Structures are given as C-alpha cells and as structure tokens.
Amino acid sequence: MYVGRDLTELSMIKKEEWKDSELEYFHHSLMQIMPYLNVEGHTIQREIIEEIERRGGLTRYEADWTHGTRISYD
C-alpha cells in the first residue's frame, strides 16, 4: 500500500523532487489506466517515465523465482 503525497500535491513540485517510491507508484497506477487518460494525463506519465530514466531506471526490491533480495557472490 502506498503511503505518501498524493498526485495533487506532487503536481505542484518538479519531478526531480519526487521520491523514487512516488515515481514508481504513480508510474504503475497511470500505466494501468493509460487508455483512459486525456492529453494531460499522458503528459504526466511521459514526464514520470523520463524522470525514472534520468535516475537510471527502477530498482527491484522484492524477490521472485529468478532474483533474490540480496546480492550473492560466488
């Protein structure tokens, strides 16, 4: 569950000042409703993607079948 600033508050500050968790949450949320977004929504989503790319991409915080939660050295 996301606990943080809402999109109304975040829209008043630059994307560079958003936390990684905020970028990740709203990227995921907007991707799920992408077909229903208007031009302004698409612009916000594009800006979020550009900021994520500028920061070097998303990081993985959970494990799955091919990735663990800790780096292991052989």
Tens-digit pLDDT profile for residues 14-33 = 999 999 989 999 999 999 99
pTM of the shown model: 0.76
Residues 15, 51 contacting (CB under 8 angstroms): yes
pLDDT-derived band at 37, boundaries 50, 70, 90:
very high
**Amino acid, single-letter form, for residue 7:** L
Is the pLDDT at 66 greater than 50? The verdict is: yes
Main-chain dihedrals φ then ψ at residue 66, nearest 5 degrees: -110, -10
The DSSP call for residue 34 is G
Total number of residues shown for the chain: 74
